[in-house]
Structure 1
Amino acid sequence: MTFKPSIAFRAKAKAGETMVETFFKKNGMQLGANLHTHQGPPFMEWAKIGAERKETLVLIHGFGERKESFYLISRFLKKELNLVIPDLPGFGKSGMDPDLVYNLDNYVNWLGRFIEQIGLDSFHLAGCSMGGAIAAKFAARFPSKVNSLSLVGPAGFYLPGKQSIYDEALAGSNIFYISSPGDFETLQSRIFRKSPTLPTCVKEYMILKAIGDREGLAKIFDELLDMESIKSGKVSLEQASLNHVCKEITMPVMLFWGRHDTLLPWKTAPFVEELFPRARVHIFEEYGHVPHLEGPQKLAGHMLNFICDAQF
């Protein structure tokens, strides 16, 4: 049964929303982030941080996230790189359009048009979780544009015989379909090795937002994974995965994974490493699914080292 918040709960959640947006705005100003819009279609808001570095890194966020989820790691990356961070269609300030089809090919097309409009000829590319799947498919389609590819707990790859959120979804359990505070707490415990301590009003805002977004997120999740084809037996999970495109990704690849990732098993990393022509793996022993939030400085250091040495 869906949670019915009290008036007091909603009031505190509204205060939490104000606190979150103020926090992001303040952090953006400290980073020197300039906000821009890509009219598309579809519409996308994006942030640019820095303009004086020789190299640019495009950062693609994960499912249910927004561009500001990269602000923590940007503190360290901006010392060496210009940063371009879009809100993907369906998330953040880019908004959700129920008439769009949010499959992987469309995300790659949308990202391609965005990159072309802002005038980037070549760049480094990084993606986390869902953003990793989009980044990998983009790199396979536009190899001349991508100098290096960093994938952080990327979705889209499949390790046969190992349970993941894909198997859970096929069994009828979508971890992102939030109906109650308890569902939200479960999701947090699955994303982080140790769930962050949040002000009560912020947590209540995040709970209400997750409940309000659940139908849209379910649509995006199903279309990204092509659940209709998998459930009908037209394709298997492995056939629907990105395993088969790895050989087309010829630039240097770095796979970062948290040992305690319960959404996408870390053992996928060494398995997929063998499928890429040029790949390395780094496993973070202390993190879960989101190293960019749990250990931004450490991840940034490893990512910068990889990008500087991306000629291996």
Structure 2
Amino acid sequence: MYSPYASLLADIPVVRETVVVAGVETAYWVYGDDDAPTIVAVHGFRGEHHGLEPVVAYLPDYRIIMPDLPGFGETGPIPGREHNLQAYVDWLNEFGAAVAPGAIILGHSFGSIVTSAAVAGGLKTPRLILVNPIGAPALAGPRGIMTRLAVFYYWVGARLPKPIGDALLRSKLIVRVMSNTMVKTKDKTLRAFVHDQHDQYFSRFADRDVLHDAFVTSVSHDVSQVATQLTVPTLLIAAEKDDITPVEAERVLAQRIPNATLVEIPNVGHLIHYETPKQAAAAIDEFLTGL
């Protein structure tokens, strides 16, 4: 599938590395030059590092480190632990200390929950960047009914006989429904790219137990729970048409974070990283200028 961002990415050097943290061999990718300012970027639920590459494409002057979260992509599950928020926070703390101590931290969607909780808990960073932050309880969002259906879907998938449950959770039809629900662009080429990305990467989870744990975590927590503890300068990149956290809730969140900057991108929903990465990257670059 043609990527609108392939030519830009081709100019950015990238290497794949691994490191064992929290008991799991974590795969991560390093984009850019070693002497550039470093950002550690954490992807969203059911995704993996590829999802944030369009944003990377517009940030050639930064060194961006993107791991696959435990249980997703090429990183296995954390052994012997429920994949709850604390498990992901512990993993991120260890990953940051091992690979890029003191780096700028970025989180998209579910990654915003993990990164904000880690920074609120003491992860050292000069700046925090949250793209499509989960700024309020997901069940209270504009598509609360859809979220409740998703809760039922993941609950059923975790309890059916394993082969049936696994097939349901990896269903291409369900993935396409999810993709169509989130995408807002009318550009046919870009829509096709978004759907292809979800087809390729949305089912690269380790097993249904990890997926269910991560989903429960995603709907049980949000950034507002730690907002007042985020004392570092924080950039919120919000979407005008986000179906998970309405932009009005993001404005409230920005008021609760002591040192927050809010950037609102029009005509896009929960897929800023796919549909408007250039605008997101411009906001990030402006926020980090002079750091």
Among 174, 177, 183, which residue is 2:174 paired with?
183
What secondary structure does 1:286 align onto?
Answer: coil
Shift of 1:256: 0.9
Q: Does 1:70 align with 2:61?
A: no
C-alpha contact 2:31 2:65 (8 A) present in aligned 1: yes
Q: Distance in 2 between matches of 1:52 and 1:204?
A: 30
Deviates more, 1:171-180 or 1:126-135: 171-180
Query: Which structure has the larger Rg over C-alpha atoms?
Result: 1
- After superposition, the CA RMSD in angstroms is 3.7
Gapped runs of 5+ residues in structure 2? 158-167
AA paired with 2:83?
Answer: Y
Alpha-carbon shift at residue 94 of structure 1 (Å): 0.6
Q: CA deviation at 1:247?
A: 1.3
Unpaired segments ≥5 residues, structure 1 = 1-18, 227-239
* Cα distance, 1:150 vs structure 2: 1.0
CA contact (8 A) 2:242 2:268 kept: yes
1:24–1:68 Cα contact (<8 Å) kept = no
Structure-2-length-normalised TM-score: 0.79
TM-score, length basis structure 1: 0.74
Q: Give a deviation string over 1:78-97, Cα, whole Å, max 9, x none.
A: 22x11111111011111346
- Identical counterparts, % of pairs: 21
In structure 1, what is the Cα distance between the partners aligned to 2:115 and 2:201?
29
Cα distance change on mapping 1:146 and 1:54 into 2, 3 Å? same
1:245–1:270 CA distance, 2 compared to 1 (3 A)? same
Find out whether 1:61 has 2:40 as its counterpart. Answer: no
Distance 2:25 2:205 in 1: 24
CA distance in 2 between counterparts of 1:162 and 1:70 reads 24
Distance change (3 Å), C-alpha of 1:36 and 1:272: same
1:152–1:83 CA distance, 2 compared to 1 (3 A): same
The count of aligned residue pairs is 274
Q: For the residues of structure 1 that align with 2:97 and 2:206, how far apart are their CA atoms?
A: 33
Contact 1:124 1:149 in 2 (8 A): yes
Query: Relative to 1, partners in 2 of residues 1:244 and 1:188: Cα closer, same or farther, differing over 3 Å?
Result: closer
Paired position in structure 2 for 1:35? 16
Does 1:153 pair with 2:144?
A: no
The equivalent of 1:15 in structure 2 is none
Kept after mapping to 1: 8 A contact 2:105/2:115: yes
2:284 counterpart SS class: helix
Match of 2:160 in 1: none
